[in-house]
């Protein structure tokens, strides 16, 4: 536990105001940096947020998408310096904080109702 507190105290560059307000059920596009040797590029991952967990510097969120008929999930730390930006594409209407039931359904059943503004 001491090492986690040490890292939390020494990461002052994180600004929580840069994070948009999203929750489970929202469709987001996460742009993150990939470093391969001396080269650096940005890649996008678009999908539905399944959950947000943790708090402070240790908060993470899970994004799920279907790629070539296979479900792909990725866990991102919210305050990672590798995340360039997070865009909210759609606000979803769900009644749960963790929507793991999406793993077992496909097709039209897996659609999430969009929140009207």
Indicate the domain borders of the chain.
Answer: 2-110
- From CA 36, how far away is CA 87, in angstroms rounded? 24
pLDDT (tens, 9 = 90+) of the chain, 117 residues, equals 677 777 767 665 556 667 899 999 999 999 999 999 999 999 999 999 999 999 888 899 999 999 998 999 999 999 888 999 999 999 999 999 999 999 999 889 989 999 887
Name which of 66, 18, 42, 36 is nearest 74 in CA terms. 66
The pLDDT, as a whole number, for residue 15 is 64
Helices (H), the chain: 2-10
Q: Rounded to two decimals, what is the model's pTM? A: 0.84
CATH number of 2-110: 2.30.30.790
């Amino acid at each position: 536990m001491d090492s986690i507190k040490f890292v939390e105290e020494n990461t002052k560059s994180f600004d929580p105001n840069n994070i948009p307000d999203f929750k489970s059920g929202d469709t987001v596009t996460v742009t993150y940096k990939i470093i391969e040797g001396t080269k650096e590029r940005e890649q996008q991952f678009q999908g539905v947020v399944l959950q947000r967990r943790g708090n402070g510097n240790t908060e993470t969120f899970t994004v799920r998408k279907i790629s070539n008929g296979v479900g792909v999930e990725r866990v991102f730390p919210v305050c990672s310096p590798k995340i360039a930006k997070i865009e909210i594409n759609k606000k979803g209407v769900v009644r749960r904080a963790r929507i793991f039931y999406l793993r077992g359904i496909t097709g039209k059943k897996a659609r999430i109702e969009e929140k009207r503004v």
